[in-house]
Structure 1
Amino acid sequence: MSLFGKIFGGGSKGGKAATPQEAIQKLRETEEMLAKKQDFLEKKIEQELITAKKNGTKNKRAALQALKRKKRYEKQLAQIDGTLSTIEFQREALENANTNTEVLKNMGFAAKAMKAAHENMDIDKVDDLMAEITEQQEVAQEISDVISRPVGFGEDYDEDELLAELEDLEQEELDKNLLEIKGTADVPLPSVPSTSLPSKPAKKKQEEDDDDMADLEAWATN
């Protein structure tokens, strides 16, 4: 059985295939396991390096054994690094495929819903409906124009005849005014008296002059 078969628990031809969500979860768990293995190997490599340095001059054989173990741990660590890269790539590809699947599924639902919405629609019926709406709008506009048009209610008169009648009335009024003016001119005015108006008595005139002179002298002396 392959490594991926062991990881996903596969191997049985008749087994049900894992869903994308299940596969992604399995890959994440595997990544976590390998990451822990990385930490373990890095610590072991560090310990073996310390052991080799410690026994480098005192116990050459022990130092060499420590370096051999260190090399094995480094090889395992490199393999795990490669495996992690492969798993990460596979997980990302699976996540993208799952996203695309969900998007396509939702688009399919939307397409079916749109098809159901248009199922009872016919383009010819839509055109007929729009034409009918336009026609009714035109009828409504014509009705509005007729309603707003002034109506005489049967009082259909000749405008020229009305103007002639108005001119006759104006002429009649003008003639009447002229007759009134002429009648006023025939009334005799009062005659101008032929005799002169009586003048003031000479004595009274002299007294008034004396009073004026007295007032003038009083003003001059002040």
Structure 2
Amino acid sequence: MYFTQTVALQALKRKKRYEKQLASIDGTLSTIEFQKEALENANTNTEVFKVMGDAAKAMKGAHKDLDVDQVHDMMDEVADQQEIANEISEAISNPVGFGEDVDEDDLLAELEELEQEGLDEQLLNVGPALDDLPSVPTQEPKTKRKTARPEEDDDMRELAAWAS
């Protein structure tokens, strides 16, 4: 029995050592995983930084010959040319010598006057629809006088007595 107890104690000691070793290895693996993730993040950040630098260089190259003032001047010139084109288009589209001596405001006033005359005519032609009217009554209406309920008469007398 002493022998088996010694063997069991040695097995328990080994188990404890293995558990400590396993915990140590587990901690080491966790540390390595954290470092791996940190390195991956650092590499990603480095790549992003390089791409951003390349993009900045490309934009700088594309804008090398451009100046904000030049762009504004060009946009002003485009706007001026558009105004000239609109004036030319308007000048071409206006009829010349084809009876354009009538003022548009006069025409609008005449149109309103004609519309008003049409409305006035329609209003004059509106008459009562005799077919839809009821017949005139021939006898006097019968009226019934409502008699107050006795409770109301008592209440009214009491109120009159209180008010006087």
Q: Same fold by TM-score, threshold 0.5 exceeded?
A: yes
Q: Distance in 1 between matches of 2:17 and 2:51?
A: 51
Q: Distance in 1 between matches of 2:4 and 2:45?
A: 61
Secondary structure in structure 2 of the residue aligned to 1:59 = helix
Q: Distance in 2 between matches of 1:123 and 1:136?
A: 20
The answer to whether structure 1 residue 66 and structure 2 residue 36 are counterparts is no
Q: For this pair of structures, how many residues does the alignment match?
A: 100
Match of 1:93 in 2: 38
Letter of the aligned partner of 2:9 in structure 1? Answer: L
- CA shift digits 1:111-130 (9 cap, x unpaired): 11100000010122111111
For residue 58 of structure 1, report the CA deviation from its aligned partner.
6.5
For residue 74 of structure 1, report the CA deviation from its aligned partner.
1.0
| 1:196-215 equivalent positions in 2, closer than 5 A | none
Match of 1:83 in 2: 28
Secondary structure in structure 1 of the residue aligned to 2:18 = helix
Q: Distance in 1 between matches of 2:8 and 2:71?
A: 91
Find 1:151's aligned residue among 82, 87, 96.
96
For residue 150 of structure 1, report the CA deviation from its aligned partner.
0.9
Match of 1:117 in 2: 62
Moved over 3 A (4+): none
- CA shift digits 1:79-135 (9 cap, x unpaired): 111111111111111111111111111111111110000001012211111111001
TM score, norm. by length of structure 1: 0.42
Letter of the aligned partner of 2:66 in structure 1? Answer: M
| 1:1-222 equivalent positions in 2, closer than 5 A | 59-152=4-97
Rg: which structure is higher? 1
Secondary structure in structure 1 of the residue aligned to 2:75 = helix
Letter of the aligned partner of 2:38 in structure 1? Answer: A
Which runs of 5 or more residues in structure 1 are unaligned? 1-55, 160-222
- CA shift digits 1:150-188 (9 cap, x unpaired): 1128xxx9x8xxxxxxxxxxxxxxxxxxxxxxxxxxxxx
Q: Distance in 1 between matches of 2:49 and 2:3?
A: 69
Task: Work out which structure has the larger RCO, using CA pairs closer than 8 Å and 6 or more positions apart in sequence.
Answer: 1
Q: Distance in 1 between matches of 2:9 and 2:3?
A: 12
